Amino acid sequence: MELTTFWFCLLGVLWVGYLVLEGFDFGVGMLLPVLGRNDTERRVLINTIGPIWDGNEVWLIVAGAGTFAAFPEWYATLFSGFYLALLLILVALIIRGVAFEYRGKIDDPVWRRRWDIAIVVGSVLPALLWGVAFANIVAGVPIDAHKQFTGTLLTLLNPYGLLGGLTTLSLFALHGALFLGLRTTGDLRERAVALAARLSIPTTVIAGAFAVWTQLAHGKGWTWVAVVVAALGLLGAGQAARQAKELLGFALTSIVIVAAVVLLFGSLFPNVMPSSTDPAFNLTVHNAASTHYTLVVMTWVAALMTPVVLLYQSWSYWVFWQRLGIGDIPAGGGMPAIPQQAPAQ
């Protein structure tokens, strides 16, 4: 395999890591007001991802930096072209990250409600926009001979792009509900699984439509495999949710996300960003790539470090793979709303 192809596949792997892991973080964030009926329940939900969300988000950073290192032209055209969409994603990720850390620091309902809003908005927006972005990358956007994007934010908001956005949004909600079914106890767990069963129907319709559209408009012969796997996975996840088999359901939605990335990246290859202006202006794995030497260096770094990262990240999942219930949450938490006069000791 050519090194450029290898790096294209490796970036697919990094995006799989990001979307599978932060996908359920987004789902948990979105479902916060739906499943969390009071502050303690909402804290249970947040604490299921508390120890891991930050490590999950690093997959995005590495996917971004990996694109910069391996395909600088792709990075440059994509990031300057999708400017305002990325700005929205950045704002969302900033308020969401701060919200996780700061929400519990003050024991005050108004303070916490405001950060809850930040978590919901910060989860919904990126979940939607990553789908919009990827759909547009696959479909092609106006790019001129100088590799410059010539559209606007509205260019991205076409029917296919929006369907892609709804796909990731609904898929991550389902993925997150199953994750919560797997990580909580009691009433919360039952409600999460019941919600997953309900979510699975619209998700299957939306994601199925997007997959078929992608396949018919941009797919290759072999990417039908990914479409079929995704469809079976979605049907299976819904069935698993109805039978309260959370682990199976969660494994299946993870596979669906893998299949989605395979479908999108498979449809793209060998382009990385096709031009809707003129196919001659397409960015490809060849004309967007770094030199052979850089790719060799980065391959060594990735080959040595990725297994180590997977090892300790899996370990952190194992450490916290214990269901949480409302009994695990300490009362109050954080500083009281009104400062104390005398120093506490």
Partner 1 sequence: MNALDLARWQFGITTVYHFMFVPLTIGLAPMVAIMQTAWYRTGDERWLKLTKFFGKLFLINFAMGVVTGIVQEFQFGMNWSEYSRFVGDVFGAPLAMEGLLAFFLESTFVGLWIFGWDRLSRRVHLATIWAVAIGVNLSAFFIIAANSFMQHPVGVRFNPVSGRAELTSISALLTNPTALAAFPHTITASFVTAATFVAGIAGWWMVKAARNPESAAQGAIYRPAFRLALVVLLIGGVGVAITGDQQAKLMFKQQPMKMAAAEALCNTESGAGFSLFAVGDVSNNCDVRTLSIPGLTAFLATGDRHATVKGVKDLETEYQAKYGPGDYKPLLAVTYWNFRLMIGFGALSALLALLGLWFTRRGGSPSQTWFGRVALILIPAPFLANVTGWIFTEMGRQPWIVAPNPTGNKAVRMLTAQGVSGVSGATVLTSLVVFTVLYAFLAVVWFGLMRRYASEGVQPLAPADQDEGADAPLSFAY
Told to check if 95 binds partner 1 by CB under 8 A, we report yes
Told to check if 137 binds partner 1 by CB under 8 A, we report no
Q: How far is the CB of 328 from partner 1 (least distance, A)?
A: 5
Told to check if 327 binds partner 1 by CB under 8 A, we report yes
Q: How far is the CB of 340 from partner 1 (least distance, A)?
A: 7
Distances, alpha carbon 221 to alpha carbons 224, 227, 266, 267, 276, in Å: 6, 11, 10, 10, 22
Of residues 144-183, which lie at the interface with partner 1 (CB under 8 A)?
Answer: 147-148
Of residues 106-125, which lie at the interface with partner 1 (CB under 8 A)?
Answer: 106
**Amino acid code (one letter) for 16:** V
Q: Where do the DSSP E strands lie in 32-173?
A: 106-107
Smaller CB separation from partner 1, 67 or 253: 67
Told to check if 102 binds partner 1 by CB under 8 A, we report yes
Among 13, 34, 93, 231, binds partner 1 (CB under 8 A): 93
Among 19, 30, 35, 46, binds partner 1 (CB under 8 A): 46
Q: How many residues touch partner 1 (CB under 8 A)?
A: 80
Taking Cα atoms as reference points, which of 114, 122, 104, 213 lies closest to residue 172?
122
Burial class of 314 by CB neighbour count within 10 A (0 to 12, 13 to 18, 19+): exposed
Contacts 24+ apart (CB under 8 A), 273-276: 273/74, 273/77, 273/78, 273/137, 273/140, 273/141, 273/143, 274/138, 274/139, 274/140, 274/143, 275/140, 275/141, 275/142, 275/143, 275/144, 276/139, 276/140, 276/141, 276/142, 276/143
* C-beta separation of 74 from 283 below 8 A: yes
Told to check if 13 binds partner 1 by CB under 8 A, we report no
Distances, alpha carbon 255 to alpha carbons 4, 149, 250, 259, 273, in Å: 25, 33, 9, 6, 25
Told to check if 298 binds partner 1 by CB under 8 A, we report yes
Phi and psi at residue 308, in whole multiples of 5°? -65, -45
Smaller CB separation from partner 1, 77 or 184: 77
Told to check if 31 binds partner 1 by CB under 8 A, we report no
Told to check if 55 binds partner 1 by CB under 8 A, we report yes
Smaller CB separation from partner 1, 221 or 343: 343
Smaller CB separation from partner 1, 87 or 117: 87
Smaller CB separation from partner 1, 47 or 276: 47
In the stretch 232-271, what mask flags binding to partner 1 with x, by CB under 8 A?
----------------------------------------
Q: Is 334 helix (H, G, I), strand (E, B) or coil?
A: coil
Q: How far is the CB of 327 from partner 1 (least distance, A)?
A: 7
Tell me the torsion sign for CA atoms 292, 298, 302, 303: positive
Tell me the pairing of strands 271-273 and 106-107: unpaired
Told to check if 76 binds partner 1 by CB under 8 A, we report yes
Told to check if 303 binds partner 1 by CB under 8 A, we report no
Told to check if 86 binds partner 1 by CB under 8 A, we report yes
Smaller CB separation from partner 1, 239 or 299: 299
Told to check if 329 binds partner 1 by CB under 8 A, we report yes
Q: Is 305 helix (H, G, I), strand (E, B) or coil?
A: helix
Among 159, 222, 293, 307, binds partner 1 (CB under 8 A): 293
